[in-house]
Amino acid sequence: MKYRYLGKTGLLVSRICLGTMTFGAKDWGCDSKTSIQLIHKYLEAGGNFIDTADIYAGGASEGIVGEALRDKKRDDIVLATKCLFRTGTSPTSKGLSRKHIIEACEASLRRLKTDYIDLYYIHGSDPFTPWEGTMQTLNDLVRQGKVRYLGCSNIFAWQILKANGISALLNLEKLVCGQYMYNLINRDAEREILPACQDQGMGFTSWSPLGAGMLLNKYHKGGKPSEGTRLFYRTEIDGARFWHERTFEVANIVTEISKKTGISPVRLALSWILHDKRVTSIIIGVKRMDQLEENLTMGDWDLAEDVWEELDTKTAYDLGHLSEFARHVYKSAFGDEER
């Protein structure tokens, strides 16, 4: 298993991160026994980075992770979780207010059966809470020893810069990692998120690297997701993300290159992401041992440059006018100068 530094923190994490959204999820996930076996297999393979969230399976995911790590050496593991979404019926059981962040963190610590969280993400933005209050509260959690590092997920690049600017002004802990959807289908993170994380010295973790399985070409345009699959049960959420024309076009490209090179679609999709050194780790989501074993092959395997270039070119994504203008400016102003 290869490791990469999480931004400029000096913290080394495995470039394959074990996502746990399937753990304890009814209908489309896996049960507690299987989940624990998957966690232990991942750790035995050299993985040290586990990602969960307080809303995964209604908190059951965190509970399963805590049980799986009960007899493991905690200091060898980088454990990440998140807060933002509603976790109870109270009007205050959501958002990024001081009250909810503190209560959410305490609840996660109890479920995870640990004294500290290595990486604590805000799971999105809260339009009703000023960033000053959110960053001050997160800073307090670090000072209290309950959290080691801070991260963000699903917020805009300008919000990353605003949050870290406030932290710099007030001498608070900064965000050191971003977690975003990034795959061959959805490449919009290349527009501003990846550059923003690089500028801020932040790590970057990619979720849904296989596009909810769409890149494996197991779904067909005009049909419907198979019963029992994640897309079948989460069509309302994942349908808009993946069930569209570009998805099927990209999946066909991956299949075509896979047949030509003999490299599996899983390897192609995951290794394409890891080729970008701005990416710290890819978050894999599995519910069976064979899925985990196949994903783990990417722990120390890299894609040949010519194959990567073909895959990258054929799945090119329109990043819009500003990105195109920036390329034009660079070429006209600096020519072939080294960056």
Question: 3, 5, 42, 56: which one is catalytic?
Answer: 56
- Reading phi first (left if > 0) and then psi (alpha if -120 to 50, else beta), residue 145 is in left
9, 129, 159, 187, 280 from 134: Cα distances, Å: 21, 7, 12, 29, 25
Annotation marks residue 317 as catalytic = no
Measured CA to CA, the distance from residue 187 to residue 273 in angstroms comes to 10
Residue 259 and residue 253: Cα distance in Å, rounded?
10
CA distance 105 to 117: 9
Known catalytic residues are: 56
